[in-house]
Chain A
Amino acid sequence: MAINEPTNATHWSEKLQSVPKPVIFGILLLFSTVPLFFPVQLPNKPIDASIDFYAQAMKIPDGGKIILCSDWTNSTRGESKGEMEALLRILMRKHIKFVLLSIGDVQAPQVAKDTIREVSDEEVAKGGTAYKEFEDFVNLGYYAAAEGTILAINNKVLSVAQGKKDFPVGAGPKDALLSPVFSGIKTVSDFNMFILVTASSTNRTILERITNCPMMYMVTGVMVPENTSYYASGQLKGLCGGVKGVFDLENLMEYGINNPGPHEIESEKYKGESIPGWPGKTNTGKGTAYYFALHFALALLVVAVAIGNLGMFVAKRRSK
């Protein structure tokens, strides 16, 4: 992994193609860091997939129940934690109860619990109610055999929770099936939605096996092209992808859909409906914090590729 020193370039076209690695790394560090000190609220037009995600989440009735499969860890904190925080804010404000489980990584359950605690504390600080473990959400933990577990959820959801224990506030461990989250649940179709927050291939595992419950995904940027085809075919009701998706959600949480105003977000699909946001509440998070700096980093990449190709073309013409 040692730095390769550039060869002796004489003509400017050769020098353009051989900028030393430390310089490239240093410029990238600068472009990723400096904009963070100057937060700017950028204009944005949410994409259809994000609008659908938000609209479908808002259509879950208040007090409804969902299954939340959290398969991310801090390795993709930049995107996945932003997605999880935005989703949890929506769920907590609508008092939607959820069953939390993980099939992708042994670290995922602890990371998810920490994030839930942080968002709950944030909501309490702003006058909301705390989200209590066992009462408002039940944590089923990690399942090593993803395929069998998801198939069992589709066929006999209560069997998956058998033997699992969770920790109610103010009491010792209790059988997860005794949680109010499971009250009235007989099959997976009794849940309003199955939402997956992932950075790995568990999206495919779930898509192949869940047939009795509508699904929505929150994925990292690298998985967006693949999952867009599932969204286009109707297998997913909504898709939130990457930091752009997070930023879209944060905008939608602030302005809603088809709500008249200076920042109205229009949607042809939901024409005639007005889906509210939560103006004035904490809606911005990692999406807003990182999006401005991302512009600079991406612009740097475009410029770097352009410079490299310019150098190549000029060098080619010289050699002819």
Chain B
Amino acid sequence: MNLLAQVDPKTFWNAPNSSAELYVKLSLALLFGIGLAIGLMFAPPQMRKMVIFTVTFVSGLFYVLFWLFPAPINRQPSDAPRGPIEGLSFWISDSQSVVASLTNVISGFLIGLGIYSLLRVHLGKIAKQQKDWFFSAVLVTCLCLMVFFGYADWKQRLDPQNFILADPKNWGFINYGRDLLFDGLLQNMDAGMFSIVAFYIMSAAYRAFRARSVEATILLVTALIVILSLMGVVELMWGGVMDGISKENDGLKALAES
């Protein structure tokens, strides 16, 4: 494969990087997309349900076809479809990775929705100086700090000259900042948050785990057996007892047979 040449063949759906053709097509497609979105804003209410239904159905139909439609077996890169049926089969098989890639992008935008919502709430609190707005300011400040250091660190590493940053000995202020915020604070606080549950499990097990009914007793006994089995020392002692009984049985069996 000549890595310096264009990898994909030129089609209507693509254009060379930084070419005028690409920018023109991008602009037209963007205008089309914006026009579509504006058009949907003026869609009559009766049409809205149909739009959502159609979009959802077509999306689902793709994977149903992917599962049900006969797929090529032992397909080689040089194979060409011999008819429309095989053509559709090849197209479905080739499109799956593109669909996965598109889904990644849409999911990415929807992940941003959660962060946008969080910012909306807390920036509103700061602007209106509502109760405990100081904590909202802390949240927004930490968010901005992480975005700054995280993005700056990533950008630095993209520069081919900065490969030395792989070694922490060559780190600068930005890299130390990112490491302190991510590894020092975020990761340790993540661990701390989840470990708090241990205290509540202990307290709840002590106060509420009572053998008040048959079901509760079965649950209690099973939980205690599993907990004991997780202790290697107990398991080894129990295994030793079982092995002892088993050997005694073998001895008795051999005696009976003789």
Contacts and interface: CB of A to CB of B under 8 A. Distances in A.
Q: A and B touching (C-beta < 8 Å)?
A: yes
Interface of A: 17, 19, 21, 24-25, 28, 32, 42-45, 73-78, 106-107, 110-111, 114, 133, 143-145, 147-149, 151-152, 155-156, 159-160, 162, 167-173, 178, 242, 244, 247, 291, 294-295, 297-302, 304-305, 307-309, 312
Contacts of B239: 45
B157 interface: yes
Given A305-B206, A308-B206, A149 B232 contact: no
B100 A45 contact: no
Nearest to A42: B232
Given A301-B205, A302-B224, A309-B211, A44 B236 contact: yes
Contacts, number: 151
A78 B209 CA distance: 26
B230 A74 contact: no
Q: Is the interface of B mostly helix, strand, loop or mixed?
A: helix
Given A167-B163, A301-B205, A178 B3 contact: yes
B209 A156 contact: no
Nearest to B193: A75
Contacts of B202: 24-25, 28, 300-301, 304
Interface string B97-108: 111110111111
A212 B104 CA distance: 23
B233 interface: yes
Interface of B: 3, 93, 96-101, 103-108, 111, 157-163, 166, 182-183, 186-188, 190-191, 193-195, 198-199, 202-203, 205-207, 209-212, 220, 224, 227-228, 230-233, 235-236, 239
A118 to B, nearest CB: 11
Chain A, interface SS category? helix
Given A148-B104, A152-B100, A172 B111 contact: no
A305 B166 contact: no
Nearest to A74: B187
B142 to A, nearest CB: 15
Contact of B100 (A43, A78, A160, A173): A160
Nearest to A296: B231
14 contacts: A25-B199, A25-B203, A32-B198, A75-B191, A76-B194, A77-B187, A144-B107, A148-B99, A173-B160, A291-B232, A294-B231, A295-B232, A304-B202, A307-B206
B190 A74 contact: yes
A160 B159 contact: no
B198 A171 contact: no
Nearest to A25: B199
A244 B232 CA distance: 8
Contacts of B96: 148, 151-152, 155-156
Contacts of A171: 160, 163
A302 to B, nearest CB: 6
Contacts of A305: 205-206, 209, 220, 224
Contacts of A168: 163
